[in-house]
Structure formats: structure tokens, C-alpha cells
């Protein structure tokens, strides 16, 4: 499977379906796992890292899974291809810059992926569209069992699954829910809400995880604590908080419709106008405008653009995707021109933007 084959696809997390998908884009769970008898990645030499890759691939071949995970050796991929995988949420920015043997295995739906030799030997990940913590947990739990039958995991009776960083030890579980919160942001309730979340040991981050800021009102909320709580309890606590935020965003959206429908209509129309007529546009501006359009769709202010198209544009306007679409590398300014042209074409295909 070549990476080019992925280009027309959306990837599980942008399908725009699933429960609460008007607000929740995707649910992700990852498990950090290490092999018992090899030092963690940062202290492993090249031959030990190669052994991790080999043993993982052997275990993967034996594990009887309901899907096929194809392994990609990152050493054989260009920096552009690596960035492409980062944008699709299949690998982390850290793995993209890793030196030495490492890789990623994922299925054709891009719903299940396993990073090899990231900070931990194995990072298992399951992505689902919409709000699907239970579903994602069942799937990843099964995957974990299937691999564990063939790989001796580093496990300590007191500390649980051992990880390179003590912030992940225990369950090694991080569950993140990606939310689109434009109305809470517009009504200036967001900062207060997010501050409250951080007080109860949950983390808020932007689109691409650690070290990224919130673009296009997209926020990832995840658990911080991995030790001392069982997996179902971690997920339940996260679920309860997300439900409160969901209710808040819905209420804020209703308020916007009641109090300032015309203002919102104007914002959406202007956003579409800019997206459809700019000749130079940055990723940041595109994301902000798409966020406005996405809200417009769910407030039913426009009806001729499907959410999936907006989701698709969210990812296609990112640097590596854009270059893959154009077919050659572009510098910053060229990208802004190509992005504007691409958006204009896509919106023209959808016809006039009147509600």
C-alpha cells in the first residue's frame, strides 16, 4: 500500500459520523507498552531498537486480528510523507523526527495504528469518529490482549505497565476526545470551562497534541492520571466531563441562534466569501474560517455543504496534504497560493453558497 492511496480517503477521525458528531469529531485511546527485557527507546541502541521492530512484527503476524495492520518503516519515508502521517494523526510529531529503527502499522480504515519505538516501544492507538469511548476501549483492549499473547510486556505488580515517562505508568492509557467548540469560544465561556477541566486532572490541548495550540476551535480533552484508577473509571470520569461540555456548547449554540442569528449568518457568509475568493491564505486562517463554516452547518444557516467536506478541507489544507495534492513540494508562500486556489476550486464545485 503506498501512502498516495490514502490521499482521497478521510481517515476514521474525520468521517464526521458517529454519536454527537456535530460537536465531537473523534475519540482516541492509546496504550503505552514496552517489552520487558529491552531498555526503553531513549536508552536502547540501534540493534535493540531493531529487535523491538522485529519482535513486534513477528507478534503482529501471529496475532489473529479482525483487520490487517500494514507496517511502514519510517526510515524509508521522506520527510513529506512523515508529515503526511502526522497530519492524519497516524504518528506523532516526535516519531516523525526519530532517528534509528522505527515505524508504524495501521489498517486501511486508519482506525487502528501502532507506533514502534516512539517514547515507548509500542504505542497502540484506536481512533473512532464521534463520541465512542466504550467502543474504542473494547477494540484497543482486544488488540492489546492479542499482542500480549506473543510479547512479554514490562509489567510491575505495583506500578502496572511500565513506561519511559512516569506520567504514563500504570494503565499507560490516554483517552482523548476532539471537540469543536466555536460557540463556547464566541460566548466567552471557554476559558473558564477549560480552566475548570485542568483543575480536575484532565488536559486540554490543540489539534496535534502536545506543543500545539487550538486551531479552528478544535480542542482535545484527555485524562492526565494513568495510575491508581482502572481503565473503565478513567474513561467514565472523562465521559462525564465531556457530557457537561457538550451540553454547554449546545446551549451556547442555541443562544447564538436566538440572540444574534443575523450576526452569525453574516460571519458564515463572510467566511465562505473569503475561502472562495482569497488568492493567498495560511493554514491558520483557513482553519479559523472552516470552523465558522462548520458551526454554520450545524446551526442550519447553510445547507449545501456537507460536514464531511469541511472535515476533509480541515486536513487537506495542511501543509503536507496540500503538497501531495499538488504533486510537488512548495515553500511557505507557494503553499498559501496553492491552498487558496484549492479551496476556491472545491467550493466552486459545491455551487453557490446561499442558505
Given the rule CB under 8 A, which residues bind other proteins? 34, 36-40, 42-43, 62-64, 141, 144-146, 148-150, 152-167, 169-171, 173, 190-191, 194-195, 198, 201, 203-206, 210-214, 219, 225-231, 234
* Least Cβ distance, residue 28 to other proteins (angstroms): 17
* Least Cβ distance, residue 42 to other proteins (angstroms): 6
* Least Cβ distance, residue 249 to other proteins (angstroms): 16
What distance in Å separates the CA atoms of residue 205 and residue 321, rounded to the nearest whole number? Answer: 22
C-alpha grid cell, residue 100 = 534509528
* Least Cβ distance, residue 203 to other proteins (angstroms): 7
* Cβ(230)–Cβ(160) below 8 Å: no
Alpha helices in 172-331 (DSSP H): 182-186, 190-199, 231-277, 283-298, 307-316, 319-326
Quote the distance between the C-alpha of residue 156 and its chain's center: 30
3-state secondary structure of 5: helix
Determine the length of the chain.
Answer: 355
- Beta pairing class for 202-205 and 70-73: unpaired
| Cβ distance to other proteins smaller for residue 19 or 228 | 228
* Least Cβ distance, residue 221 to other proteins (angstroms): 10
| Cβ distance to other proteins smaller for residue 215 or 299 | 215
Q: Sign of the C-alpha dihedral, residues 123, 230, 148, 62?
A: negative
* Least Cβ distance, residue 347 to other proteins (angstroms): 27
| Cβ distance to other proteins smaller for residue 72 or 267 | 267
Rg (CA), the chain: 21
* Least Cβ distance, residue 202 to other proteins (angstroms): 12
115 sits in the region (left: phi over 0; alpha: psi -120 to 50; else beta) called beta
Long-range contacts at 326-329 (CB < 8 A, ≥ 24 apart): 329/80
| Cβ distance to other proteins smaller for residue 110 or 231 | 231
| Cβ distance to other proteins smaller for residue 229 or 250 | 229
SS (H, E, C) 52-64: HHHHHHHHHHHCC
| Cβ distance to other proteins smaller for residue 212 or 254 | 212
What are the DSSP calls for 118-141, one per residue?
Answer: SSSSEEEEEEEESS-HHHHHHHHH
Residue 329 has φ and ψ, to the nearest 5°, of: -75, 150
* Least Cβ distance, residue 185 to other proteins (angstroms): 11
* DSSP structure class, residue 330: -
| Cβ distance to other proteins smaller for residue 39 or 100 | 39
| Cβ distance to other proteins smaller for residue 229 or 344 | 229
Amino acid at each position: 500500500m503506498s501512502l498516495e492511496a490514502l490521499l482521497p480517503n478521510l481517515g476514521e477521525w474525520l468521517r464526521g459520523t458517529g454519536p454527537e458528531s456535530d460537536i465531537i469529531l473523534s475519540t482516541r485511546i492509546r496504550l503505552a507498552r514496552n517489552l520487558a527485557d529491552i531498555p526503553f527507546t531513549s536508552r536502547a541502541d540501534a540493534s535493540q531498537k531493531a529487535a523491538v521492530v522485529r519482535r513486534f512484527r513477528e507478534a503482529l503476524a501471529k496475532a489473529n486480528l479482525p483487520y490487517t495492520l500494514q507496517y511502514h518503516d519510517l526510515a524509508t519515508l521522506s520527510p513529506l510523507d512523515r508529515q503526511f502521517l502526522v497530519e492524519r494523526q497516524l504518528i506523532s510529531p516526535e516519531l516523525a523526527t526519530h532517528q534509528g529503527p522505527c515505524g508504524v502499522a495501521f489498517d486501511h480504515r486508519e482506525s487502528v495504528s501502532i507506533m514502534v519505538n516512539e517514547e515507548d516501544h509500542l504505542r497502540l492507538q484506536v481512533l473512532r469518529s464521534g463520541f465512542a469511548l466504550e467502543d474504542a476501549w473494547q477494540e484497543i483492549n482486544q488488540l492489546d490482549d492479542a499482542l500480549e499473547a506473543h510479547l512479554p510486556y514490562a509489567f510491575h505488580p505495583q506500578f502496572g505497565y511500565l513506561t519511559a515517562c512516569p506520567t504514563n505508568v500504570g494503565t499507560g492509557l490516554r483517552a482523548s476526545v476532539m471537540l469543536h467548540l466555536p460557540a463556547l469560544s464566541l460566548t466567552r465561556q471557554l476559558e473558564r470551562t477549560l480552566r475548570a477541566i485542568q483543575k480536575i486532572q484532565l488536559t486540554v490541548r490543540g489539534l496535534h497534541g502536545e506543543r500545539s495550540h487550538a486551531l479552528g476551535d478544535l480542542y482535545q480533552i484527555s485524562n492526565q492520571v494513568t495510575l491508581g484508577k482502572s481503565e473503565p473509571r478513567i474513561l467514565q470520569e472523562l465521559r462525564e466531563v465531556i457530557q457537561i461540555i457538550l451540553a454547554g456548547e449546545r446551549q451556547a449554540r442555541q443562544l447564538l441562534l436566538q440572540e444574534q442569528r443575523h450576526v452569525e449568518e453574516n460571519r458564515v457568509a463572510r467566511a465562505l466569501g473569503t475561502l472562495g475568493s482569497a488568492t493567498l491564505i495560511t493554514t491558520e486562517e483557513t482553519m479559523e474560517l472552516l470552523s465558522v463554516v462548520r458551526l454554520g452547518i450545524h446551526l442550519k444557516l447553510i445547507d449545501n455543504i456537507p460536514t464531511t467536506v469541511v472535515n476533509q478541507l480541515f486536513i487537506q489544507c495542511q501543509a503536507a496534504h496540500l503538497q501531495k495534492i499538488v504533486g510537488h513540494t512548495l515553500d511557505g508562500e507557494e503553499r498559501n497560493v496553492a491552498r487558496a486556489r484549492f479551496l476556491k476550486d472545491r467550493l466552486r464545485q459545491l455551487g453557490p453558497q446561499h442558505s
